[in-house]
Structure 1
Amino acid sequence: MHNTLELVLVLLAAAVVVVAIFRSLNLPAVLGYLLVGAGVGPHALNLVADSDAAVHLAEFGVVFLMFSIGLEFSLPRLVAMKRIVFGLGATQVFGTLAVVTLVGRAFGLGWVAGVALGGALAMSSTAILSKLLADRFELDRPHGRETIGVLLFQDIAVVPLLIVIPALAGPGEGLAATLGFAALKAAGLLALVLGFGQGLMRWWFTVVARRRSGELFMLNVLLITLGLAWLSALVGLSLALGAFLAGLLISETEYRYQVEEDIKPFRDVLMGLFFVTVGMFLDVRIVASNLPVVVGMLLALLVVKCAIVFTASRAFGESSGNALRSGLWLCAGGEFGFVLVSQIDGLGLIPPALLHTTVAALVLSMLVAPLIVQVSDKLVLRFVASEWLLRSMELTRVAAQSMNTSRHIIICGYGRSGQYMSRFMEQENVSYVALDLDPERVREAGAAGDTVVYGDAARQETLLAAGIMRASALVISFAEIEAALRVMHRAHALRPGLPIVVRARDEKDMARLADGGATEVVPEAFEGSIVLASHALALIGVPLNRVVRRTRDIRNQRYALMRGFFHGATDASEGPDANQPRLRSVTLPAGAYGVGRTIAELGFDEFQVGVSAVRRRRIRGLSPGQETQLMEGDVVVLVGVPAGLERAEGRLLGGG
């Protein structure tokens, strides 16, 4: 018990420091965990006395990761993407397996070890690539759909690989029978769980949910996850397969999203511990002494996987440019590669030196994956001649739509907000040109007569083709802050004085967007509240001209009267609202530091805190001036972020 506690403390302390550094550098946390493992492991500082205990704890990380994959697994989704998933995805995985096995045989490695190693190298990082696709708004582009489809097949392929590799590593005699029996057990368990489990699972979760207990709901999720993992191990299969089936069962119920949120902290923490244990058997000295081999393996991994994906994508009818993009996105290694590496290590299939080299190559590949993605467009333009023609055609289509327009509005993003706005513009006979990256949406809207074209608003050449030098305004209708800032940067570089209107989800992003160059920022939460209040006031008989004047005043003051909210026990303490401006009421007792002082003298600006109102003898004064002198018994309403509010309250009461 004492050793286990020491183990957990050492790993937690090291992980907190290193992962915080990696997050600040905008690098994947998984690389930080691997570095922690390499540093505290037996080949470096040797701070972990019982590495076996760490491995046993980390097994639960794999269980919860596979459970999460099961939650995301959807038969309708597979059917919709079957060509990419089971065509391109299967070709990539089996192609990598075949190439690695053949190369391994050429260097004297057994074919079983080659298959195991090929499975580990075939994987790409779902966590890193899906986040990059979302951040770059490329999920709906051709290479984005191919990347997601291949990643989905890789996630599915891990399950049979976890079954097949141990069977292949067993005695040679009776191998076919062993594999057949393992497949039969897996099929039987799958049929039993899916055939009888879905109805039972929905009924049982309904019973538990009716108790309205978050604690009971969480206990039930843990019971089902670990119970099915134990059942799978009981029949001779892997814990991961049972956890995958548990997630698969729950994915078909209406409780899927709640379960996903509840299980996330367990999954993330335990998966971090798993990556730490993987890093433990990375001997940095061996890697350093064989650095040319590590770099050679890294380059071979990137080139071979990119070539396989490129060839397969072209065979399935994709253009050369998009095929190369898909190859560049998928060429690096992934987290499931480490899951398979840990299994290979336990079976003793590969010499330790080669295993260390493989882990090092996988780590380095994940480290360079974001860099490869960053330069992927430049590489495609450099090596694919037809891409220049396609880019020119795209810009020509944009220019054709904007050629005969002037004083028009450029709408960046043609989702629901962009479409609603375009209809408003049409009613006022104001011309517009909309840019969007969803080809299906552009095709259908264009066929209906909307002035929308396929184009990336974050590119200067696209904005020029859209007629930014003749436009009267630019509107960013999507609410993704980083992308909006990139578009504003490009627009101001081309035409500094152009008015830009930006949509924001809530108030926390207003200052950042305004600093980024937005002329007006429209927060959805405020506007929704204004409209609700306007309808309510009109329905209870308040004169319409007064309602209109009130809403106009609020907008003219940049929503100052609406900023902040009173935080309650039912509000989440973390998440997207954690750093939203809040309101806090502070009553001034006799002897408080603020009594007799003006708001200006208290210096709340230092904490980025303002005074929203002062309530005195049941009279409430909104937006008091800096010269307002506070009195005993006043209720001062502060507005600011939580950390600033704490310090402002301390100064108001005690002068700190």
Structure 2
Amino acid sequence: MIDISSCSSLMNYGSGYLSPIHPVWPTLLAEVDEAEAGPLILASVLLSLITVYIAAKVGGEVCARINLPSVLGELVGGVIVGVSALHLIVFPEGGEIGSTLMNFIQMVGGLDGEGVRTVFQGESEAISVLAELGVIILLFEIGLESDLEELIRVGPQAAIVAIVGVVVPFAAGTAGLIALFGIGTIPAVFAGAALTATSIGITAKVLAELQRLSSKEGQIIIGAAVLDDVLGIIVLAVVASLAKTGEIEITNVAFLIGGAAVFLIGSIFLGRLLSPVFVTLVDQQKTRGDLIITSLVFAFSLAFIAAAIQLEAILGAFAAGLILAETSKRKELEEVITPVADILVPVFFVTVGARTDISVLNPLDPANREGLIIATFLVVIAIIGKTITGFVIFGQPDVNRLAIGFGMIPRGEVGLVFAGVGSASGVLSESLDAAIIVMVIITTFIAPPLLRMVFKDPVDGDGQLESAKQPMVDSSSQADLSVAQTSEAPEGT
């Protein structure tokens, strides 16, 4: 990054070893241009990742010890290191021009304001990309752990859950904002649309931790959440078009609907036909990483296609997981993808928490009060509108309906996308924007403990209920005790 003459002068300086805070560094680094900021961007990314992993691990461990899902701890850890508290992990779209870590980098590197801005932008983009890769890997892993046949079997129920979970919150939220608060039609429609979202990443992670992902409830929730993502993309496109032009572009909506249907059905159909080719290709390779690299190429390819046709990349990754789960490499692939997920997935959850500004929950600030009142209404609609989805299931008398409803509650990063698009469009007032953010925060944080509460029976490593196994253990113990007592009884009794 520095030319040879600079390197020579550095090597000749003093004893030949220069620490990062050596006095010569500020002079040199203040002169670097944008192309030469690479080492400092890398340094700041590494420092950010250290912060992310510590926050994720500490938060996850604390929650695990109090019988809460570790993903909740990762979210809380993100809030603590993010814009709401320590300002260690922040992003430019939040209005920040730097972070506490950037202040340290500036001190170490002796950068001026423009240099800090360049490094901060590069670091933020890198962390954001890693977070996006994290959620792609998470959905790929969830697809691997899902049962395609079961998803198809519960498809009608999942479709009803998804449709009700979109229509009810949207209609109730929009009508209520107009009737009760006198909010304009377009802002009310935008806020109502934010209520339709479901964060498949958060719910799927909790279900995986509870070992309920392959349960009937888990498959219905995942299927409905995937459809919710598709419907959410369509709703977002509609309201974004409405905000920009005041009218809905029917052709754009039709393209999204058709593209989603063709992509999901076509990718799964073709993937199942080509899966033997995948297995043969893996078996013929002689180098390290044959299975994981080939699988990631396949997953990233479908994710790219989904993103290219204006769908979510995570839908492509999920479809790839479903397809590869049907091959003979499923168990082996689950084992090799786990370390990759352990590295990238926490980045996603911590950044979701870091982007969340909980200062909007402060009722002592007069500017927040109107937003909190509206937020209370939105939270009620958000929770009820998704909870009732579990009670529209038909033909499943033994299904845990509350679990399905609670699993659809978290808005997470999807809700933040709605809020961000609405804020950028300028159609949302400050109070309504704050209310949407509060709704996203509360629904994101209450869903994991609610799911833990309704799934009361612990599950062992084989996915079997401990309560179902316990009587067998007890009866066996009693039988052994009876035999022992018989053998020890005196003769003649």
Cα 1:68–1:155, aligned 2, differ >3 Å: closer, same or farther? farther
Question: Paired residue for 2:130?
Answer: 57
Over aligned residues, Cα RMSD in angstroms? Answer: 4.1
Aligned AA (1:3): S
Matched, 1:16 2:45: no
Aligned with residue 34 of structure 1, among 72, 75, 81 = 75
* Residues 287 and 357, structure 1, Cα contact 8 Å, conserved in 2: yes
Question: Paired residue for 2:168?
Answer: 95
Cα 1:149–1:169, aligned 2, differ >3 Å: closer, same or farther? same
Question: Paired residue for 1:373?
Answer: 454
Q: How far is 1:31 from its partner?
A: 0.9
In structure 2, what is the Cα distance between the partners aligned to 1:42 and 1:242? 31
Question: Paired residue for 1:501?
Answer: 476
* Residues 97 and 122, structure 1, Cα contact 8 Å, conserved in 2: no
- Which 5+ residue runs of structure 1 have no aligned equivalent? 140-144, 376-455, 457-477, 492-498, 503-517, 522-555, 557-656
Q: How far is 1:58 from its partner?
A: 0.8
Q: How big is each residue's C-alpha offset from its partner over 1:376-428, in whole Å with a ceiling of 9 and x where there is no partner? A: xxxxxxxxxxxxxxxxxxxxxxxxxxxxxxxxxxxxxxxxxxxxxxxxxxxxx
Instruction: Give the match's secondary structure for 2:289.
Output: helix
Question: Paired residue for 1:117?
Answer: 195
* Residues 159 and 223, structure 2, Cα contact 8 Å, conserved in 1: no
Question: Paired residue for 2:298?
Answer: 224
In structure 2, what is the Cα distance between the partners aligned to 1:65 and 1:295? 31
Q: How far is 1:482 from its partner?
A: 4.5
* Residues 279 and 328, structure 2, Cα contact 8 Å, conserved in 1: no
Aligned AA (1:118): T
Matched, 1:157 2:228: yes
> What TM-score results when the alignment is normalised by the length of structure 1?
0.50
Matched, 1:330 2:405: yes
Q: How far is 1:220 from its partner?
A: 1.2
Instruction: Give the match's secondary structure for 1:119.
Output: coil
In structure 1, what is the Cα distance between the partners aligned to 2:257 and 2:402? 32
Counting only pairs closer than 5 Å after superposition, residues 74-473 of structure 1 correspond to structure 2 as 76-88=149-161, 90-106=163-179, 107=181, 108=183, 109-120=187-198, 125-129=203-207, 132=210, 134=212, 145=216, 148-162=219-233, 164-166=235-237, 168-170=239-241, 171-172=244-245, 173=247, 175-187=249-261, 189-190=263-264, 193-194=267-268, 196-211=270-285, 215-289=289-363, 293=373, 298-310=379-391, 312-313=392-393, 316=394, 326-327=401-402, 330-331=405-406, 337-349=411-423, 351-370=432-451, 372-373=453-454
In structure 1, what is the Cα distance between the partners aligned to 2:212 and 2:306? 35
Q: How far is 1:203 from its partner?
A: 0.8
Q: How many residues were matched structurally?
A: 384
Instruction: Give the match's secondary structure for 1:501.
Output: helix
Q: How far is 1:299 from its partner?
A: 4.9
Q: How far is 1:111 from its partner?
A: 1.6
Q: Hey, which of these two has a bigger chunk of helix by percent?
A: 2
In structure 1, what is the Cα distance between the partners aligned to 2:404 and 2:304? 36
* Residues 105 and 111, structure 1, Cα contact 8 Å, conserved in 2: no
In structure 2, what is the Cα distance between the partners aligned to 1:134 and 1:196? 29
In structure 2, what is the Cα distance between the partners aligned to 1:194 and 1:129? 23
Question: Paired residue for 1:531?
Answer: none
Counting only pairs closer than 5 Å after superposition, residues 484-523 of structure 1 correspond to structure 2 as 500-501=475-476
> What TM-score results when the alignment is normalised by the length of structure 2?
0.65
Query: What percent identity do the matched residue pairs reach?
Result: 26
Q: Hey, which of these two has a bigger chunk of strand by percent?
A: 1
Aligned AA (1:359): V
* Residues 282 and 290, structure 2, Cα contact 8 Å, conserved in 1: yes
In structure 1, what is the Cα distance between the partners aligned to 2:407 and 2:154? 23
Instruction: Give the match's secondary structure for 1:125.
Output: helix
Q: How far is 1:304 from its partner?
A: 4.3
In structure 1, what is the Cα distance between the partners aligned to 2:87 and 2:131? 18
Rg larger for: 1
In structure 2, what is the Cα distance between the partners aligned to 1:364 and 1:195? 37
Counting only pairs closer than 5 Å after superposition, residues 517-556 of structure 1 correspond to structure 2 as none
Cα 1:305–1:161, aligned 2, differ >3 Å: closer, same or farther? closer
Q: How far is 1:159 from its partner?
A: 3.5
Instruction: Give the match's secondary structure for 1:102.
Output: helix
Aligned AA (1:199): L
Instruction: Give the match's secondary structure for 2:476.
Output: strand
Cα 1:362–1:44, aligned 2, differ >3 Å: closer, same or farther? same
Aligned AA (2:454): V
Instruction: Give the match's secondary structure for 1:240.
Output: helix
In structure 1, what is the Cα distance between the partners aligned to 2:143 and 2:402? 26
* Residues 36 and 276, structure 1, Cα contact 8 Å, conserved in 2: yes
Q: How big is each residue's C-alpha offset from its partner over 1:46-65, in whole Å with a ceiling of 9 and x where there is no partner? A: 11234444322211122123
In structure 1, what is the Cα distance between the partners aligned to 2:409 and 2:389? 17
Aligned with residue 483 of structure 1, among 463, 467, 470 = 467
Question: Paired residue for 1:383?
Answer: none
* Residues 105 and 114, structure 1, Cα contact 8 Å, conserved in 2: no
Cα 1:116–1:360, aligned 2, differ >3 Å: closer, same or farther? closer
* Residues 198 and 249, structure 1, Cα contact 8 Å, conserved in 2: yes
* Residues 124 and 330, structure 1, Cα contact 8 Å, conserved in 2: no
Q: How far is 1:45 from its partner?
A: 0.7
Q: How far is 1:186 from its partner?
A: 3.9
* Residues 155 and 223, structure 2, Cα contact 8 Å, conserved in 1: no
Q: How far is 1:361 from its partner?
A: 1.3
Aligned AA (1:119): A
Cα 1:52–1:43, aligned 2, differ >3 Å: closer, same or farther? farther
In structure 2, what is the Cα distance between the partners aligned to 1:332 and 1:479? 19
Q: How far is 1:81 from its partner?
A: 2.7
In structure 1, what is the Cα distance between the partners aligned to 2:175 and 2:199? 14
Q: How far is 1:479 from its partner?
A: 10
In structure 1, what is the Cα distance between the partners aligned to 2:463 and 2:402? 30
Where has structure 1 moved over 6 Å in runs of 4 or more? 121-124
Cα 1:77–1:500, aligned 2, differ >3 Å: closer, same or farther? closer
Deviates more, 1:479-488 or 1:296-305: 479-488
* Residues 272 and 326, structure 2, Cα contact 8 Å, conserved in 1: yes
Q: How big is each residue's C-alpha offset from its partner over 1:175-207, in whole Å with a ceiling of 9 and x where there is no partner? A: 111122333444554566456544344213312
Q: How far is 1:130 from its partner?
A: 6.5
* Residues 378 and 435, structure 2, Cα contact 8 Å, conserved in 1: no
In structure 2, what is the Cα distance between the partners aligned to 1:129 and 1:196? 29
Q: How far is 1:36 from its partner?
A: 1.2
Q: How far is 1:19 from its partner?
A: 1.3
* Residues 79 and 354, structure 2, Cα contact 8 Å, conserved in 1: yes
Matched, 1:45 2:86: yes
Question: Paired residue for 1:66?
Answer: 139
Q: How far is 1:88 from its partner?
A: 4.7
Q: How big is each residue's C-alpha offset from its partner over 1:436-466, in whole Å with a ceiling of 9 and x where there is no partner? A: xxxxxxxxxxxxxxxxxxxx9xxxxxxxxxx
* Residues 194 and 249, structure 1, Cα contact 8 Å, conserved in 2: yes
Cα 1:297–1:149, aligned 2, differ >3 Å: closer, same or farther? same
